[in-house]
Amino acid sequence: MIVARLALQSLWSRWLTAILTVAAISFSVMLFLGVEKVRDGARSSFSNTISGTDLIVGSRAGSIQLLLYSVFRIGNATANITWESFEDIKSRPEVAWTIPISLGDSHRGFRVMGTTGDYFEFYQYRRHKKLTFQSGHPFEDIFDAVLGSDVADTLGYQLGDPIIVSHGLGTLGLSKHDDKPFRVAGILNKTGTPLDRTVHVSLEAIEAIHLDWQGGARIPGRSISAGQVRRLKLQPRSITAALIGTKSKLRIFSLQRFVNTYREEPLTAILPGVALQELWQLMGTAEIALTAVSAMVVVTALLGMITMILTNLNERRREMAILRSVGAGPRTIFSLLMTEAGILTTIAVLVGCILLYAGLFAVQSTIDAKYGLFIEIDPPAFRELAILAGIIVTGFVAGLLPALRAYRMSLSDGMMIRN
């Protein structure tokens, strides 16, 4: 009792170094947990890029490639799907809804995606969240464009602004569809997905701007004005990919089999969740690197604590000699120093958790709005708890080194008190 009280008073008499040590460890714990949270957030944001879609259909390709161009707007499709094949799939009994998409054009570095009004109705991200409009509305006119929030922010577009779409991808030297300008009809809210960096137009408009084109250039002498286009029936000849929702999850696989064995044309149907998982695994090393860095920070902080205790030990030789003289055994000396290290680490872990959660509460919405990274505020997962427990245990064990040294010093000091 008295020994415990004296140990606490001893620690308190060194409050400045103790507080600095606790601060160092708690910051490292906060960083470590924070990295875990961000990692989880990134992973779920990533896998939440697309939600509610049961299958993605494209021309025959690897699943990651199909996912990359259809969802992440990275890379290109090697071939298109004919409209007839799309109609075939659409008419299957398993299908509840379809979103055809057509890619290939761009606007000042942002991808232009042709789609239908169904897109705004059925497309979901982050656990069945639907797209919402910051302003404006979905396609009404054939040359209406709906912008992702990043596009509008970066280029400073307002509703009603004209947009000229370039043929192909990139920013420079592209031929422009400048005879048929679009008008900004709607701007979407931020989603934190590649959709924010996409210009959405109708499939018909994609068809219309390419009517008088062939092989990436205008057909000389043939020009159809925007006015004339409106009078034509614009039936797309092909699309790049299609997102499909089924009526029942149980029928996803039969539909997938149908698509993969489709005879008219080589097609691939992928389960987006599975493909996302595969893609995330490719980034596994980055995850490990991140964890490794934060683990090293924790180790550094614990080393700092050992240094602190060892440094103080010289000043505490008197304390140890007095305790030995009144009959405290090596066990008492050991447990004193180990408990001190353990208490410091435990306090630090608690403070680190409090700091982290306070921080999360403070910046969660800002991070979500600004970076589209949604970090869930949930109690620490089992894995995180295990890590925290591990840090506390390490803290106690870290006290072993100073304890051993104190024990040896108290033996060699004998009856002499050094100060």
Q: Where does this chain bind another protein (CB under 8 A)?
A: 1-3, 5-6, 9-10, 12-13, 318-319, 321-332, 411-412, 414-417, 419
Q: How far is the CB of 281 from another protein (least distance, A)?
A: 56
By beta-carbon proximity to another protein, the closer residue of 94 and 319 is: 319
Assess contact for 25 and 302: CB atoms under 8 A: yes
Q: How far is the CB of 326 from another protein (least distance, A)?
A: 4
Distance CA 165, CA 201 (A): 10
By beta-carbon proximity to another protein, the closer residue of 370 and 418 is: 418
By beta-carbon proximity to another protein, the closer residue of 20 and 417 is: 417
By beta-carbon proximity to another protein, the closer residue of 75 and 330 is: 330
By beta-carbon proximity to another protein, the closer residue of 331 and 383 is: 331
Assess contact for 345 and 391: CB atoms under 8 A: yes
User: What DSSP state is assigned to residue 51?
Assistant: B
Q: How far is the CB of 337 from another protein (least distance, A)?
A: 15
State in Å, rounded, how far the first CA of the chain is from the last one.
26
Distance CA 171, CA 250 (A): 44
Q: How far is the CB of 399 from another protein (least distance, A)?
A: 20
Q: What is the dihedral of CA 71, 75, 81, 83, to 10 degrees?
A: 70
Token digits of residue 19: 């507080």
Q: Is 313 helix (H, G, I), strand (E, B) or coil?
A: helix
By beta-carbon proximity to another protein, the closer residue of 261 and 419 is: 419
By beta-carbon proximity to another protein, the closer residue of 105 and 319 is: 319
Please report where in the chains the tokens 């990651």 appear, as a residue: 64
The CA distances from residue 10 to 153, 207, 311, 339, 408, in Å, are: 58, 80, 14, 12, 20
Token digits of residue 8: 């606490």
Query: Mind spelling out the 3-state secondary structure of 44-70?
Result: HHHHCCCECCCEEEEECCCHHHHHHHH
Q: How far is the CB of 405 from another protein (least distance, A)?
A: 15
Q: How far is the CB of 408 from another protein (least distance, A)?
A: 10
Distance CA 74, CA 68 (A): 5
Distance CA 47, CA 153 (A): 25
State residue 225 phi and psi, 5-degree precision: -75, 165
By beta-carbon proximity to another protein, the closer residue of 126 and 324 is: 324
User: What DSSP state is assigned to residue 221?
Assistant: T
User: Left, alpha or beta for 154 (phi > 0: left; psi -120 to 50: alpha)?
Assistant: alpha
Q: How far is the CB of 153 from another protein (least distance, A)?
A: 59
Q: How far is the CB of 14 from another protein (least distance, A)?
A: 9
